[in-house]
Amino acid sequence: MAPGQFLFTGEQKMERPNIELLVYNKEEVKEFKFDTIEEALSKIDNTSETLWLNIEGLHETGIIKKIVNHFKMHKLSGEDVLSIGQRPKFDDYDHYVHVVAKMFQIENGNIEDEQITIIFGENFLITFQEKEGDVFDHVRNRIFEGKGQIRSKNSDYLAYALLDSIVDHYFIVVEHFANIIEDFEIEVLAHPSEQLLPKLNELRQEASYMRRSIFPLREAVNQFEKLEAPYIHKETKIFIRDLYDHTLQVIESVGVLKESVNGLLDLYMSSLSNRMNNVMKVLTIVSTIFIPLTFIVGVYGMNFSNMPELEYKYGYLITLIGMAVLTLLMIFYFKRKKWL
């Protein structure tokens, strides 16, 4: 297909999209929820304050198309919003900025990811999410309660705050992932069964996916800091530099997690190898004990007539006692060598 087509490539995760709007300034904040995008856009036209339009659910492509047309965005922005599975990136379209990031959350003990798009320009910011629920609650609380300086800042600071919330939540996910690795490590050391191997491979794939999803964000934040635009204020760049440092820390932590999972796989293989070595050692010792006994039985099992011991009255008993003594001597020798 030609570029710039409005085609949703993801999975529908909501019955119908949610359309929410926050309009705020230093003195007040107003919240609106709409059933149609036309109502939201008409409200936007009647305000000059900083606004945050949040769209949850991307399967209705007509909503995205109307937003793109209303804000005079490039068609590729609409295509990128609807194309799920992109790497994090930062695109400058002159009068607005398009940011794609991965948002990780812990749901029912599992790590779930979601693509989120942030588009902002002069006094407006739009977020596009695949489903309901995000990591922005504390940002909303700061806006409603007037804490900090977020209500006195513009859309560039709001974009920083949202990205900072995403990055800060990475630390929670990394800690949760580290706890999972510790649990697996205990299980590997205690019971290195074959059923663990598929789980460890799945864990390694999750660590690799997390690293691929977070690593490109470093370049995106770096471009955000270096961008020269009238709607990017100098005082905001100080916070963006701090966000860049946090992003580097997360990337390093995810790299450590990936190495830990690889080390866990090595530990699993070593545990299996040690377990097999112990089994082979026992089997070897048993075989070694029975080799001389088999030799004795084989010698006296030959059908030669001129074998004096065969005619001896106590020959059978003496042979059994000799075999038992030989066995005990070999066991004593193995223990002294610490092979048992």
Residues 272-331 pLDDT 10s: 787 788 888 888 888 888 888 888 888 878 777 777 777 777 788 888 888 898 888 888
CATH of residue 300's domain is 1.20.58.340
Model confidence at 232: pLDDT above 80: yes
| 111 close to 89: Cβ distance less than 8 angstroms | no
**259 shares its domain with 297:** no
* Average of per-residue pLDDT across 60-80: 93
Number of domains, the chain: 2
The alpha helices in the chain, defined as continuous H runs, are 37-45, 61-70, 75-82, 137-145, 155-190, 196-214, 217-226, 234-299, 308-311, 315-336
**247 shares its domain with 298:** no
Which pLDDT score, from 0 to 100, does residue 74 have? 92
- Tell me which residue range forms the domain holding 285: 278-336
Model confidence at 184: pLDDT above 80: yes
Tell which of 241, 270, 299 closes a domain: 270
**134 shares its domain with 153:** yes
185 found inside a domain: yes
* Average of per-residue pLDDT across 246-275: 87
10 found inside a domain: no
Tell which of 238, 270, 302 closes a domain: 270
**286 shares its domain with 225:** no
Per residue in 189-225, pLDDT (tens digit) is 887 777 888 888 888 899 999 999 999 999 999 999 9
CATH of residue 161's domain is 3.30.460.20
**194 shares its domain with 309:** no
Model confidence at 86: pLDDT above 80: yes
230: helix, coil or strand? Answer: coil
Tell which of 245, 270, 295 closes a domain: 270
